[in-house]
Amino acid sequence: MNVGFVSPTLLAGLFTLFLAGCATPRLSAFPAEGFTPLNNDARVWHELGGEAYAGEVSRLLGPAINKVESVHGLPFERLPRVYVCSTPPCFSRLVPIPGYTAAVLPGEILTLSPKLDLEENERLPGILAHELSHLHLGQRLGHYTADLPIWFHEGLASLVADGGGAEFSSDEDACNAWDSGRRIDFAQLDTAKKRHRAADFKMSIHQFYRQAWRFLQYLQRRDPGGFAAMLRDLQAGKPFLDAVADTYRISLERLGLEFEFDSR
């Protein structure tokens, strides 16, 4: 996540630990020892015994990179590197907060937990693409910049990943939250001192991800060419509200009011 993903049973206890969306927890310095590059693919480094897992990540990495670059509209500035943990102790020394299955750490370090090789293997393609979206944006704007709202970071990453990261909330679940008044205020901007997270809108993290994803999907469908140009402008440093207004010719507040969340 810059980011981490939590299982539903851990959500309630972890709200206070999430500083931003997928989250940027206080993490230990990255210990590179114990990892070795995969044969024939230096983009993927793995723990001893994790060659098969790393091989699967290697096969998924090229298509995931292409998907990120296609949606973001720009190439990666630096080739991504993925660190694959095949045991829980390996991952917990990098990400000492329980409940995560992936994270982007400061220094452009994308790490994956063994859960994505075992009980949550079906999530691996989506989570890899989601994390790469965060990494790509971070290369140009900085690690999880407050210049963009958390909902935009997470909505864009889930859009790239075709819903990856929002799997633990269905459209029906997120729509019910929306209809009950638990909805993202898309016009409410973040600052370095105040980041608006899922709890601020009285919803679960995955409901938050799903609403953000569907709103970004709505913006993309409303004006595909304009959406692509807006992303390029944002990555060039254009202020968020200016980029939105120049693309859609109406305010972000108005766009939020015109968006209707529908689970059908």
In terms of Cα–Cα distance, which of 217, 211, 219 is closest to 244?
219
Per-residue pLDDT of the chain (264 residues; tens, 9 = 90+): 544 444 333 333 333 333 333 644 444 445 567 899 999 999 999 999 999 999 999 999 999 999 999 999 999 999 999 999 999 999 999 999 888 899 999 889 999 999 999 999 999 999 999 999 999 999 999 988 999 999 999 999 999 999 999 999 999 999 999 999 999 999 999 999 999 999 999 999 999 999 999 999 999 999 999 999 999 999 999 999 999 999 999 999 999 999 988 654
CA separation for the pair 123, 75 (Å, rounded): 24
Contact yes or no for 206/168 (Cβ under 8 A): yes
Question: How far is CA 60 from each of CA 4, 43, 66, 167, rounded to the nearest angstrom?
Answer: 19, 12, 10, 19
Contact yes or no for 149/189 (Cβ under 8 A): yes
CA separation for the pair 249, 225 (Å, rounded): 14
CA separation for the pair 228, 244 (Å, rounded): 11
CATH of 8-258, one of 1.10.390.10, 3.90.470.10, 3.90.550.10, 3.55.50.30: 1.10.390.10
Domain coordinates in residue numbering, the chain = 8-258
